[in-house]
Amino acid sequence: MTEALLFISGLVGLWLGTKWVVKSAIGIAKRFNLSHTFVGLAILAIGTDLPEVFVSIDASILHLKGVESSGIITGNAIGSSISQISIILGLAGLFLNFTIP
C-alpha cells in the first residue's frame, strides 16, 4: 500500500514539475524573444543529461568520503554514450535505409 502511494505521489510530482518547467521555459522564451524550438531543445538537452550529472556528483561525494567510486563515473559516461548512440542509430534505421561500409 505504501509503495503504491509513493508511486502515485511521485507521478503527480513529476507531472506538476513538468508543467512548471514548461511554463517557465515559455516565459523565458517570451521575455528574451527566443524561439520556442530553441528553448525546447535546450530544456531537452539539459533534461537528458541531468541523470548522468547527478550520478557523477553522487559518486564524487562518495569519493570524498573515502569510497572508491571512479568506476561508477566512468561506467556512467560510457554507458550513457553507448545507449544514446544506439538509440539514434536505431531510430535512423527505423525511418531510413542506410548501409554501413
Q: What local confidence, expressed as pLDDT, does residue 16 receive?
A: 93
Cα–Cα distances in Å, from 62 out to 36, 55, 59, 101? 39, 10, 5, 44
| Other beta carbons less than 10 A from residue 39's beta carbon | 19
**Residue 101 pLDDT:** 66
Q: What is the pLDDT of residue 67?
A: 87
Query: Counting beta carbons within 10 angstroms of the beta carbon of residue 58, is it exposed (0 to 12), middle (13 to 18) or buried (19 or more)?
Result: middle
Residues of the chain with pLDDT under 50: none
Residue 19 grid coordinates: 508543467
pLDDT at position 48 is: 77
